[in-house]
Amino acid sequence: MKAATFLLSVAPLALFAAPALAAPNGQTESATPQGSETEELSQDQDIIVTGLRASLQSAQRIKQTSDSIVDALVAQDIGKLPDNQAAEALARLPGVQVTRFDDEATGVLVRGLPDVTSTYNGREIFTAQNRNVALQDFPAQALAGIEVYKSGTADLIEPGLAGLINVRSRRPLDFKGLFVGGGFRGTYNDQSKKYDPTGNILISDRWTTPIGEIGFLANVTYAQQQYRNAVRYNDQSVQKVSSLSPVTPASAGNQFYYPYSVGLYSSGGRRYRPSGNMALQWKPSDKFEVYFDGIYQGYRGRQATDWFAADLRGIDSVRGAPVISNVVLMPGRTDQAASLTKSGGVAPTAYRSTGADYTNTYQRVRGDLAYRQGGAVDRSCLYQFRIWRA
């Protein structure tokens, strides 16, 4: 499968333009000597690093300050994590491998082991099939970062044998004020001949009130993929033509070789994932915070697999031995067939299998943080349920 990707990102998106500042008392701004202007800029202006460099610095800082062995991916800007979903992005970290099926990463291995515990903002999250989350259901555009803990510490949920993967979302007090951001990606699959959209939009704002800082964030994401993987194959068993099989034309002889069987395999389908998350924060003081997190993940998938195999050498009790005709040999060779037609013998076999999946995941978390010297105490109550239908 070859895919072409088209990217469009608006993070952040400026909604309003600030009016130009007027000079005091209606006076025009006077010219400033070049030397004094340079000196003033060097003293008063701060250089703020953003974008990719800031993301790399944040990931490095997490790794340096952690008490355990950890690797991290951080998206400083909205929608700037690589790839379309969390599992594919994790493949870029050292010591992390992914398994792929039907054009997407479907499983994560840490140091070659599959027993990985997954958390969302530090809290365990599960799927309808097992106690681990399907990381491919997390759209990369909605995430602030991903941490892979390869060794456990007392402040973490007990990790699996391989480690723990924490998926971290954004919260409204992470932003300075009103923020609107998002992105759009378009992908073309050269086998399915289809275009697929993937995009998200995030809105966040915070307010200073008499009872403290209050913030609200909402994010909506949609991802779609229409895939197809079709292959032709030859059996690895290559043998000389059977003496029981009639061969035409006679000039081809009976010393050439060809595969025992040939076949076709085609797997395709359409999957899409609507999802959304929201967060509400109230921080009445620097020592106390109350928050509420909610997440919804949906998965819809329809797939079909077709398989066809033709036995070129098998002898059937009714149809007899296969008849080999229209034999064309490779140029300059008498022992290798380039093409042939087979009739009789064992009949070809074929099948088609289809499936449809439907999953909804909901999680709500209410908690409070009490900041103390040396750390913070987090008390929370989690409620989660998942609906699965196949």
CA angle 381, 360, 132 (to 5 degrees): 65
Residue that has been written with the tokens 């072409």 in this structure? 4
Strand partners, 387: 360
In sequence order, which residues have a C-beta less than 8 Å from that of residue 19 and are 6 or more positions away? none
SS3 content of the chain, % helix, strand, coil (to 5): 10, 55, 35
For residue range 326-354, list pLDDT tens digits in order: 999 999 998 999 999 999 999 999 999 99
For residue range 270-281, list pLDDT tens digits in order: 999 999 999 999
Among 21, 95, 61, 121, smallest CA distance to 365 is for 121
CA angle 122, 128, 132 (to 5 degrees): 40
For residue range 214-236, list pLDDT tens digits in order: 999 999 999 999 999 999 999 88
**Which tokens sit at 91?**
């493949």
For residue range 171-183, list pLDDT tens digits in order: 999 888 999 988 8
What letters, b where the CB count within 10 A reaches 16 and e where it falls short, cover 115-153? Answer: ebbbbbbbbbbebbeeebbbbbbbbbbbbbbbbbbbebe
Own/partner contacts of 195-198, CB < 8 Å, gap of 24 or more, are: 196/224, 196/225, 196/226, 197/222, 197/224, 198/84, 198/139, 198/141, 198/222, 198/223, 198/224
- Read off the pLDDT of each residue in 93-102 and give the average, rounded to a whole number: 87
Q: Is the pLDDT of residue 28 over 60?
A: no
**Which tokens sit at 10?**
């608006």
- Read off the pLDDT of each residue in 89-99 and give the average, rounded to a whole number: 86
What is residue 58's predicted lDDT score, i.e. its pLDDT? 66
Among 137, 221, 240, smallest CA distance to 183 is for 221
Residue that has been written with the tokens 């099948």 in this structure? 351
Q: Is the pLDDT of residue 42 over 60?
A: no
Measure the CA–CA gap between 162 and 108, rounded to whole angstroms: 10
What is residue 19's predicted lDDT score, i.e. its pLDDT? 39
Q: Are strands 116-120 and 163-169 parallel, antiparallel or unpaired?
A: parallel
Write out the DSSP string of 278-324: EEEEEEEETTEEEEEEEEEEEEEEEEEEEEEEEESSPPBTTTBSPEE
Measure the CA–CA gap between 241 and 239, rounded to whole angstroms: 6
Query: Which contiguous run of DSSP H or E holds residue 12?
Result: none
Q: Is the pLDDT of residue 18 over 80?
A: no
Strand partners, 370: 288, 377
How far are the Cα atoms of 212, 230, 253, 302, 390 from residue 354, in angstroms, in the given order? 55, 16, 44, 8, 11
Measure the CA–CA gap between 141 and 76, rounded to whole angstroms: 11
What is residue 26's predicted lDDT score, i.e. its pLDDT? 42
Write out the DSSP string of 205-249: EEEEETTEEEEEEEEEEEEEEEEEEEEEEE-S-EEEPPTTS-BSS
Q: Please state whether the peptide bond connecting residue 12 to the residue before it is cis, i.e. omega within 30 degrees of 0.
A: yes
Top-ranked range on mean pLDDT: pick from 160-174, 318-332, 351-365:
318-332
CA angle 148, 154, 159 (to 5 degrees): 40
The sign of the CA dihedral 336, 341, 346, 351 is positive
Measure the CA–CA gap between 271 and 299, rounded to whole angstroms: 7
Determine which of 114-128, 284-298, 370-384 has the lowest per-residue pLDDT on average: 370-384
DSSP secondary structure letter of residue 372: E
**Which tokens sit at 363?**
């999680």
Q: Is the pLDDT of residue 1 over 80?
A: no
What is residue 305's predicted lDDT score, i.e. its pLDDT? 95
Measure the CA–CA gap between 42 and 308, rounded to whole angstroms: 72
Measure the CA–CA gap between 153 and 375, rounded to whole angstroms: 15
What predicted TM-score, i.e. pTM, was given to this entire model?
0.72
